[in-house]
C-alpha cells in the first residue's frame, strides 16, 4: 500500500478544493454536484448569481437569486416560508430529477417536486441553469424540455422577459407577492399582476386580496389611466397577449438598460434602472404616488383630484352618501345620485324631449369594471348607452372601442392634462339644464358687472363735468351782473365824416379778472385772432417790469442782448397803438418812423385798458362811462 506524506496529502487536498471551486464557477448544477453555503453559481455574462444570503442584519439563511454586482438586490427566494438557521445547507439534483434544498440534517426544506412528472426523465439528464435574465431553469437535457423555472414562481421582483398571466377560464393568476417586511421574505400583504374583467386586462396591485392600486385598462399599446409623469416609463413596459386558452400574458420586454419592477412590503411598486456611473439603482417611477392613486379613495361616484382640497368630490349630479362622514374626510362610502334618471322613472330607455343626457368629463382615469364593444365611432357608444337604461357612463378608445359601465363608477381620477380619456356620465335632463345655466351665469355675471361698472363711472364723470360747468357759468353770470356790462344805448352808432372818426355806441366793458376767467388765463386756444387782449396785458406787464427779455427765444444765443433791445422798442410802440384814447395813438406813418429809428424819443404808454371815461378823445378829457372810438388812418403814397 502506498504511503502518502503529510505534504502530499495537503497538496492533494488543495487540488481537490481548486477542482471543486472551478466546478462551481459555472452557470449550472448537474446531477452529483452539490452547492454548499456560501458557494454560488453565476450566469454566463456574470449578471446574476444563485446562492445563499441573509437579509439585513438577520441570521436566517435563504437560497435565492441576486445580481452579481449588487448582491443585496434579491430578485427571487426559494425557501421564503422556511428560513434556514445555520450555514450548513446544501442544494442538489435529487434522484427524481428535482432541485432540492437540504438542511444540515439532510432534511428537505424546499424543492421543485411536483413539477417533474415524466417517469422517463433521468436525474442524470437533469441540470439547473441560471440565465443572464435572472431566470433559474431546470431542464431535461435529453429532450430540451423545461421542467421548472423560477420565472413561473416569482416573488417580489419583476424582470425583463418575465411573464405574468391570468387564465380567464380557470381564474389562475401568476403575480408578484411582497415580502412580509424588509428583512422577512415571507409572503406579505400585497400582490401585483395582471387582472382581467370582460376581456379587458389591467395591472392591479392588491392588499389582502382587495384592490389597492390600478393601472389600466390595457389598450394593446399602453396602460390607460397612467399619469403623465409615469407615461414615458410605462410605454413599452409590457406586452399583453391572449392565447387560445383564454390566458392573458403580461410580458416585460428587454431594454438596453438593466431594470427591475420591485414590490416592497408597504405595497409601493417601484421601477429602477441600474446606473453604472453611480454604481447604484436609480428610481424612475413609483406608485401609488399619492392618495388619488390608491384604489377607490373617493368611493363610488366620487372623483379624486390631488390638486384640489379636499381631494375628493362627487361627480356632477351626485351628492355625498353620508355628509357627516364626507366632511370629516371619510370618503369611502362615496356619493349617490341626486335626481333619478328619466329612464328609471319611465321604466324604459329615455326618449323624447325629457330624455337623459351625458356630461363630458375630460382627461379622466376611467372607472373599473368596463364592458367593451368594438366600435370606431364614439357616436355609436352614445346611442348604445342611451338605449340601455342600466348604462351609467361610456368612454371610447380607438384601440378598445366603446366601454360601458352599468353598476357603479369606482376609482375615478381627474388627470387635468393630455392623459386619460373623456368620460361621459349619464344625467337627468334637469341636471344638464342646470349645468348649462350655470355655465351661462359664469359668463353673464362678469359681463354685467363690467358693464355696470363702466356705466356708473361714465354717469359719475358726466355729473361731475355738468356740475363743474354750472359752477363756471354761475361765476361768470355773477361777475357780469356785478360789473353791469350792458349800457342802455349799446346799439347806437354815429358816423362823423368830417373828423373821419366812427363813433360806436356803448359796448360791453370787461375787467381784467373777467377776461382772465373767460379766456382761461388768456390761453392761446381762446384767442379770437392774434390781436386778443391776453398778449396785450402780458406785454404791458413784462414791459412795465422792464422784462422784455422774456419775449426772446433762448435759442438766439449770442445775439440775445441785441434782440432784447429791439424787442423792448417794438413792445413800447405796440402798446402805444392800443391806447385807450384815439389822440394818444400814433398814426401808421408815425409808427413806421418809430420802427425805422427816425423818431428816437418814443413817449411812454399808459396802461392799455378800456377806459371808464365817456366820449373822451384824449387822456385830458374825462366823462363818466366810455364810448370807444376807432381811429382810421388814410394811407397816402409817398
1 pLDDT above the threshold of 70: no
Confidence of residue 161 (pLDDT cuts 50, 70, 90): confident
488 pLDDT above the threshold of 50: no
Count CB-CB contacts under 10 A for residue 299: 25
DSSP line for 288-333 = --SGGGSTTTT-TTEEE-TTSSSSEEEPTTEEESSHHHHHTT--TT
Closest C-alpha among 375, 216, 387, 364 to residue 304: 364
Q: What is the mean pLDDT of residues 379-400?
A: 95
441 pLDDT above the threshold of 50: yes
3-state SS class at 103 = coil
Confidence of residue 429 (pLDDT cuts 50, 70, 90): confident
Torsion region of 241: left, alpha or beta (phi above 0 gives left; psi -120 to 50 gives alpha): beta
Between 577 and 485, where is the model more confident? Answer: 577
Confidence of residue 18 (pLDDT cuts 50, 70, 90): very low
The model's pLDDT over 101-138, given as tens digits with 9 standing for 90+, comes to 999 999 999 999 855 545 666 677 899 999 999 999 99
Contacts 24+ apart (CB under 8 A), 108-113: 109/79, 109/82, 109/84, 110/63, 110/78, 110/79, 110/82, 112/138, 112/147, 112/148
Contact 116, 98 (CB under 8 A): yes
Lowest mean pLDDT among 41-45, 213-217, 562-566, 569-573: 562-566
Distance CA 360, CA 378 (A): 12
Lowest mean pLDDT among 53-62, 368-377, 477-486, 571-580: 477-486
Contact 181, 273 (CB under 8 A): no
Which triple of cell numbers denotes residue 499? 373828423
Lowest mean pLDDT among 342-346, 390-394, 407-411: 342-346
Q: What is the mean pLDDT of residues 368-384?
A: 95
Specify the pairing of strand 501-504 against strand 421-427: unpaired
623 pLDDT above the threshold of 50: no
Q: What is the CATH number of domain 25-117?
A: 2.90.10.10
Please enumerate in sequence order all residues whose Cβ is within 8 A of that of 105, keeping only pairs 6 or more positions apart, or say none: none
Confidence of residue 538 (pLDDT cuts 50, 70, 90): confident
Query: Which residue in the block uniquely carries the three cell numbers 363690467?
Result: 450
Which triple of cell numbers denotes residue 612? 371808464
Confidence of residue 554 (pLDDT cuts 50, 70, 90): low
587 pLDDT above the threshold of 60: yes
Distance CA 248, CA 172 (A): 10
Please enumerate in sequence order all residues whose Cβ is within 8 A of that of 421, keeping only pairs 6 or more positions apart, or say none: 224, 363, 364, 366, 395, 396, 397
Structural domain 154-289, CATH architecture? Orthogonal Prism (2.90)
Distance CA 612, CA 629 (A): 13
Structural domain 302-427, CATH architecture? 3-Layer(bba) Sandwich (3.50)
Between 489 and 4, where is the model more confident? Answer: 4
The model's pLDDT over 328-352, given as tens digits with 9 standing for 90+, comes to 999 999 999 999 998 876 665 544 4
- Give whole-number Cα distances, 61 to 42, 68, 611, in Å: 19, 18, 128
Distance CA 377, CA 396 (A): 8
Averaged confidence pLDDT in the chain: 80
- Is the Cα dihedral 143, 147, 152, 158 positive or negative? negative
Amino acid at each position: 500500500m502506498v504511503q502518502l506524506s503529510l505534504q502530499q496529502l495537503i497538496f492533494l487536498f488543495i487540488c481537490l478544493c481548486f477542482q471543486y471551486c472551478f466546478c462551481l464557477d459555472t452557470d449550472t448544477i448537474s446531477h452529483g454536484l452539490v452547492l454548499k453555503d456560501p458557494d454560488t453559481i453565476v450566469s454566463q455574462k456574470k449578471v446574476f448569481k444563485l446562492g445563499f444570503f441573509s437579509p439585513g442584519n438577520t441570521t436566517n439563511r435563504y437560497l435565492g437569486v441576486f445580481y452579481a454586482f449588487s448582491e443585496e438586490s434579491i430578485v427571487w427566494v426559494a425557501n421564503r416560508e422556511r428560513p434556514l438557521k445555520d450555514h450548513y445547507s446544501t442544494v442538489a439534483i435529487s434522484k427524481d430529477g428535482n432541485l432540492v434544498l437540504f438542511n444540515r440534517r439532510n432534511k428537505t426544506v424546499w424543492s421543485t417536486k411536483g413539477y417533474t412528472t415524466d417517469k422517463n426523465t433521468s436525474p442524470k439528464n437533469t441540470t439547473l441553469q441560471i440565465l443572464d435574465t435572472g431566470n433559474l431553469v431546470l431542464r431535461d437535457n435529453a429532450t430540451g424540455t423545461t421542467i421548472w423555472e423560477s420565472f413561473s414562481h416569482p416573488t417580489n421582483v419583476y424582470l425583463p422577459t418575465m411573464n405574468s398571466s391570468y387564465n380567464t377560464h380557470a381564474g389562475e393568476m401568476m403575480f408578484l407577492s411582497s415580502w412580509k417586511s424588509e428583512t422577512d421574505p415571507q409572503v406579505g400583504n400585497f400582490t401585483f399582476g395582471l387582472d382581467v374583467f370582460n376581456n379587458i386586462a389591467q395591472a392591479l396591485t392588491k392588499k389582502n386580496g382587495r384592490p389597492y392600486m390600478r393601472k389600466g385598462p390595457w389598450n394593446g399599446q399602453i396602460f390607460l389611466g397612467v399619469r403623465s409623469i409615469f407615461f414615458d416609463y410605462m410605454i413599452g413596459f409590457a406586452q399583453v397577449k391572449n392565447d387560445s386558452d383564454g390566458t392573458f400574458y403580461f410580458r416585460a420586454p428587454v431594454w438596453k438598460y438593466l431594470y427591475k419592477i420591485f414590490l416592497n412590503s408597504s405595497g409601493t411598486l417601484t421601477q429602477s434602472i441600474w446606473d453604472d456611473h453611480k454604481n447604484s439603482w436609480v428610481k424612475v417611477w413609483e406608485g401609488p404616488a399619492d392618495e388619488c392613486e390608491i384604489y377607490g379613495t373617493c368611493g363610488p361616484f366620487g372623483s379624486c383630484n390631488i390638486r384640489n382640497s379636499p381631494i375628493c368630490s362627487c361627480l356632477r349630479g351626485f351628492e355625498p352618501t353620508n355628509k357627516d362622514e364626507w366632511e370629516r374626510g371619510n370618503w369611502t362610502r362615496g356619493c349617490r345620485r341626486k335626481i333619478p334618471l328619466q329612464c328609471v322613472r319611465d321604466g324604459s330607455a329615455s326618449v323624447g324631449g325629457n330624455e337623459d343626457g351625458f356630461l363630458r368629463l375630460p382627461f379622466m382615469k376611467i372607472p373599473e369594471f368596463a364592458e367593451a364593444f368594438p366600435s370606431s365611432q364614439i357616436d355609436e357608444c352614445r346611442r348604445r348607452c342611451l338605449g340601455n337604461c342600466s348604462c351609467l357612463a361610456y368612454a371610447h378608445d380607438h384601440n378598445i372601442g366603446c366601454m360601458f359601465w352599468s353598476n357603479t363608477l369606482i376609482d375615478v381620477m381627474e388627470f387635468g392634462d393630455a392623459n386619460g380619456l373623456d368620460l361621459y356620465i349619464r344625467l337627468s335632463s334637469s341636471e344638464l339644464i342646470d349645468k348649462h345655466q350655470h355655465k351661462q351665469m359664469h359668463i353673464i355675471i362678469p359681463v354685467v358687472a363690467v358693464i355696470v361698472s363702466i356705466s356708473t363711472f361714465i354717469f359719475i364723470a358726466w355729473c361731475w363735468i355738468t356740475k363743474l360747468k354750472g359752477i363756471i357759468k354761475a361765476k361768470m353770470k355773477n361777475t357780469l351782473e356785478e360789473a353791469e356790462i350792458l349800457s342802455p344805448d349799446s346799439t347806437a352808432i354815429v358816423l362823423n365824416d368830417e373828423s373821419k372818426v366812427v363813433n360806436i355806441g356803448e359796448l360791453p366793458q370787461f375787467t381784467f379778472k373777467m377776461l382772465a376767467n373767460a379766456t382761461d388765463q388768456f390761453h392761446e386756444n381762446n384767442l379770437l385772432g392774434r390781436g386778443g387782449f391776453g398778449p396785450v396785458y402780458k406785454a404791458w406787464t413784462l414791459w412795465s417790469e422792464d422784462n422784455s427779455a422774456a419775449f426772446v427765444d433762448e435759442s438766439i444765443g449770442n445775439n440775445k442782448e441785441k434782440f432784447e433791445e429791439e424787442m423792448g422798442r417794438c413792445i413800447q410802440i405796440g402798446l402805444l397803438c392800443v391806447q385807450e384814447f384815439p389822440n394818444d395813438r400814433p398814426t401808421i406813418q408815425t409808427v413806421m418812423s418809430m420802427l425805422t429809428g427816425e423818431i428816437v424819443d418814443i413817449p411812454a404808454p399808459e396802461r392799455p385798458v378800456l377806459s371808464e371815461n365817456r366820449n373822451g378823445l384824449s387822456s385830458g378829457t374825462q366823462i363818466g362811462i366810455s364810448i370807444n372810438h376807432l381811429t382810421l388812418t388814410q394811407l397816402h403814397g409817398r
